[in-house]
Amino acid sequence: MSRGDVIGVLGVFTRELLSLERVTWLGLFAHQAATSIANARAYEEIAHLKAKLELENEYLRDEVDAAHGFGDVVGQSEGIRKVLDQVALVGPADSTVLIGGESGTGKELIARALHERSQRKDRALIRVNCGSIPRELFESEFFGHVKGAFTGAVRDRIGRFQLADGGTLFLDEVGEIPLDLQSKLLRVLQEGTFERVGDDRTRKVNVRLIAATNRDLRAEVQAGRFREDLFYRLSVFPIDLPPLRERLDDIPLLADHFLRQTCRALGLPPPQLKKRHAKALQSYRWPGNIRELQNVIEREIIRAQSGPLQFDLPSGPAEESKSGAAELEASPDRILKQNEIKRMERDNVLAALDATNWKIYGLDGAAQLLGMRATTLASKIKALGLSRR
């Protein structure tokens, strides 16, 4: 017995009739065994909680760094005010939220705002980038594994769901989860139970889920690449983020915010953002959205150390959409020359590369932005003679 609970039985087989004294001695042995077992279980639980706390602290440090790197939500446009109203409405609830929007629109920042307005704000916000997890490690990443479950599993590992127990789990790029693993995610969301890889013990978790995607999940469902029941389970409360080109009034505010943030990080005095700067930034379409704006600001701050602040934006999506469209509208039958087509293609490819910080492959890469294969884009970069500035 341990604290009034039966934790085991000491069985004795004998051909002799046991005296009361021997039964008393056996009771002492049973008591010693109970104390040893209870202590061993307590040490195991302490070790488990310590490991979980260390992992949670590591994630919290990453989250704090990310928060300081991006800052608070900035903007006063109608589109962002609508989003913030939705955050204030659903934040205190425990409902699942699906955040949609193009890459670079700040979906993780909105997820963080939802967590901070929830009753779980004192617990961890655990982020999982579903697009960066190898397919064979999805189950282990989500649910954890026990030692020896597979080659390379040299110790027990806590999964993200267990790590987020009592807090919030943010699944970024949720549309990248393989179809055959979506049923296991659905089970956790519906029942709150899971098993680690290689373990037969069922565990319960209490997690609020926030998902984000830059894909059209309805179209993915119709194409058979995403489970319909999981889609409806995730989209209890959908929030759609507007692209930066639909938030022109916010561009000067965002630019000033990133300008001060970058100068503070570099230890430089912030230059003044003038009207001509704001006008130049507002005339560009920003295919990479806020992430591209932040990169452009940082690049120009570094360049401005040896000269005045100016924004040398790509001439593709912005100017061509105006001057090129106006020229074709004025003369719709005009046939473009080969050098004009090549120049337009070169500017467009260069704009996509600058928008993605010259990331060619994978999600949020220039190849995806241009709608072509990464190998085709690599060949085109070489053929056009493009190089990173």
Domain CATH number, residue 290: 1.10.8.60
Please check whether residue 241 is in contact with residue 105, taking contact to mean a CB–CB distance below 8 angstroms. Answer: yes
CA distance 155 to 220: 37
45 and 169, same domain (yes or no): no
Better-predicted residue by pLDDT, 343 or 172: 172
Same domain, 141 and 87: yes
CATH code: domain of residue 133: 3.40.50.300
Q: Are residues 306 and 217 in the same domain?
A: no
Q: What is the pLDDT of residues 80-105, one digit of tens each?
A: 999 999 999 999 999 999 999 999 99
Tally Cβ neighbours within 10 Å of residue 198: 15
Evaluate whether 30 touches 7 at the Cβ level (below 8 Å). no
Is pLDDT larger for residue 319 or for residue 37?
Answer: 37
Say yes or no to pLDDT of 320 above 60. Answer: no
Distance CA 170, CA 208 (A): 9
Are both 207 and 105 inside the same structural domain?
yes
Q: Which of 182, 211, 242 is the last residue of a domain?
A: 242
Domain boundary at 254, 289, 313, which? 313
**Is there a single domain that holds both residue 81 and residue 161?**
yes
Answer yes or no: do 104 and 189 share one domain. Answer: yes
Query: Quick one: 362 and 307 in the same domain?
Result: no
Q: The CATH number of the domain where 323 resides is what?
A: 1.10.10
Residue 116 lies in a domain: yes
Looking at residue 353, its pLDDT comes to 84
Q: Which two tokens stand for residue 71?
A: 């800052």
Residue 213 DSSP SS3 = strand
pLDDT of residue 316: 46
In this structure, of 20-34, 243-257, 264-278, the range with the lowest mean pLDDT score is: 264-278
- Cα 63 from Cα 112, distance rounded (Å): 9
> Is 127 domain-assigned?
yes
| Closest C-alpha to 370, from 385, 350, 349, 356 | 349
Section 277-291 average pLDDT: 89
Phi (first) and psi of residue 4, to 5 degrees:
85, -5
Same domain, 272 and 285: yes
| CA dihedral for 196, 201, 202, 203, sign (positive or negative) | negative
Q: Is the pLDDT of residue 67 over 60?
A: no
Residue 42's pLDDT band, with cuts at 50, 70 and 90, is: confident
User: 208 to each of 63, 161, 164, 181, how far by Cα in Å?
Assistant: 17, 10, 9, 19
Res 315: pLDDT: 56
Express as a percent the part of the chain with pLDDT over 70. Answer: 88
Q: Looking at the structure, do residues 81 and 229 belong to the same domain, yes or no?
A: yes
In the chain, the percentage of residues whose pLDDT exceeds 90 is 30
Which of 289, 313, 337 corresponds to the end of one domain? Answer: 313
61 lies in some domain:
no
Considering only 31-45, 53-67, 154-168, which range has the smallest mean pLDDT? Answer: 53-67
Say what the pLDDT of residue 318 is.
39
Q: In 132-202, which residue ranges form alpha helices assigned H by DSSP?
A: 138-143, 160-163, 182-191
Name the token pair of 92: 């205190």
> Do residues 5 and 44 both lie within one domain?
yes
CB 257, CB 115: distance < 8 Å = no
Tokens, residue 220: 């993915």
- pLDDT for the residue 165: 92
Tokens of 315: 């001439």
Range of the domain at 302: 244-313
For residues 234 and 258, membership in a common domain is answered with no
Looking at the fold, whether 159 and 225 belong to one and the same domain comes out as yes
What's the pLDDT at 125?
92
Asked whether residue 260 is domain-assigned, the answer is yes
Whether residue 63 lies inside any domain: the answer is no
Instruction: Tell me the C-alpha to C-alpha distance, in Å, between residue 257 and each of 64, 119, 293.
Output: 18, 29, 11
Total domains in the fold of the chain:
4
Q: Spell out the long-range contacts of 28-37 with Cβ–Cβ below 8 A and sequence spacing 24 or more.
A: 30/1, 31/1, 33/8, 34/1, 34/2, 34/7, 34/8, 35/2, 37/2, 37/7, 37/8
HSE, CB side, 13 Å, CA atoms: give it for residue 285: 13
Residue type, 45: E
In the predicted structure, residue 168 carries a pLDDT above the cut 90: yes
pLDDT tens track for 186-219: 999 889 898 888 888 889 999 999 999 999 999 9
pTM: 0.64
pLDDT value at position 326?
Answer: 45
Q: Is residue 108 part of a domain?
A: yes
Residue 142: Cβ within 10 Å count: 24
The yes-or-no verdict on residue 237 having pLDDT over 90 is yes
Whether 66 is covered by a domain: the verdict is no
Asked, for residue 79, whether it belongs to a domain, the answer is yes
Query: Helix or strand or coil: residue 284?
Result: coil
